[in-house]
Amino acid sequence: MKKMKLRFITLLAVLCVLFTACTDNAVTTTDNITDVVTSADITADVTNGETNAPAEDTQEPQETQEPQETEKPKDTTAPTTKPAETEPPVQTNPYDRPITPAKTYKPVFSVPAYTNKAYVAVNGNEPFFTEDEKTTVAFEFYGELDSLKRCTYTFACVGEETMPTGSRGSISHKPTGWVQNKYDFVESQNLYNRCHLIAWQLTGENNNKQNLLTGTRYLNVQGMIPFEDMVGDYVTETGNHVMYRVTPIFTGNNLLADGVLIEGWSVEDEGDGICFNVYSYNVQPGVIIDYATGENRADPNGPPKADPNASASYVINKGNHKVHKADCGNIKDMNPDNRIDFVGTIAEILAQYPDASSAGCCHPY
């Protein structure tokens, strides 16, 4: 029994010794591991001078992120655009501005003495308007009477807006040189008419003393009305504007004008429709006139006679067989059904129409 106890004690002692040895080795191993970690894995933070602790060997697994879609690179190429169509330049009207007419106007020109023609062209039939005097803005200007109470000049941009809309009234003003007499060979017998420098049909001015001139029937019908009608018809048909200026020409202190200068120029078409510059004579065939006063008397030789054997163009009134020159201003009022156009001599007219007579307005023979 005692032997058994002794063996047990001895065995227990051996086990204690073995256990103690194992414990020492474990501590030594741990120290060695600690030394390795300290020398190899601990690093100094150069930036802030602090020492970072070694990361633990075991780290929690990071979540796996799903791959993101790669964005397509943007197209930096400039989009192709259709070039804009080039529009034609806007046409501007250089004459679309108001003007201020001069207070006076004294054109310089020369004309031959009257030789059986109611008017003659001046300056190659080109009017004297300057560029500054051309406009499409309608206006009317009537110059002041001079010291002798004579009309001076009138100037207008004639358009539909200047034409009269009412009826024509009476005229009471008597212009200078008004010494009225009657002659059988003058149409309507009265020698003088109160001629409008700018016709009533163009501006509607009627009893305006600054627009009235003492003119012979011949001047009015043969020398002025054809141009007034030309302008009036053009404006009515086209709606365009016409620069129109009429200037009476007096010699010295004469009360009766020698004639009138008439200028016309269509603006929108720059003279293609209307372009003239004429001087019309204030005369009456068969009448002798004193231009200083307007006094008048019949020419003892009578009205000039046309060569009866000279061929020309005439218009014959079918009703009364009055013979007119083809350019007579009065024939515009003749009924087309009552008109006979004739080309030939006066002798031929008289042979065909024995009762034919010369029209007093134009005196064809």
Judged on CB neighbours under 10 Å (0-12, 13-18, 19+), 228 is buried
What is the reported pLDDT for 201? 96
Give the Cβ contact number of residue 287 at 10 Å.
19
| Alpha helix segments (H runs only) across the chain | 2-40, 200-203, 217-218, 225-238, 346-352
**CA 146 to CA 248: how far, in whole Å?**
12
Residues whose CB falls within 8 Å of the CB of residue 220, separated by 6 or more in sequence, listed in order: 193, 195, 329
Residue 163 has what pLDDT?
96
Q: Which of 164, 169, 107 is nearest to 140 (CA)?
A: 164
Partners of 314 in the β-ladder: 325, 342
Q: What's the pLDDT at 365? A: 80
Measure the CA–CA gap between 362 and 365, rounded to whole angstroms.
9
Report d(CA 158, CA 199) in Å as an integer.
11
pLDDT computed for residue 296 by the predictor = 98
CATH class of 92-303: alpha beta
**Helix (H) or strand (E) run with residue 325 in it:** strand 322-325
Rounded to whole angstroms, the maximal C-alpha distance in the chain is 206
Distance between CA atoms of 256 and 194, rounded to whole angstroms?
A: 12
Within the chain, which residues score under 70 in pLDDT?
1-91, 306
Contact assessment for residue 312 and residue 250, using Cβ atoms and an 8 Å cutoff: no
What local confidence, expressed as pLDDT, does residue 289 receive? Answer: 98
Cβ atoms of 292 and 250 closer than 8 Å: no
Domain ranges of the chain: 92-303, 305-365
User: What's the whole-model pTM score?
Assistant: 0.67
Q: What is the pLDDT of residue 267?
A: 97
Cα–Cα dist 256/288, whole Å? 13
Q: In this predicted structure, what is the pLDDT of residue 10?
A: 64
C-alpha 83/C-alpha 57 separation (Å) is 69
Neighbours of 206 (CB within 10 A): 18
Q: Please name the residues in contact with 197: beta carbons below 8 A apart, sequence gap of 6 or more.
A: 142, 151, 153, 154, 211, 212, 213, 246, 248, 260
Nearest Cα neighbor of 224 from 251, 253, 257, 266 is 257
CA distance 4 to 141: 163
Query: How much is the pLDDT for 332?
Result: 76
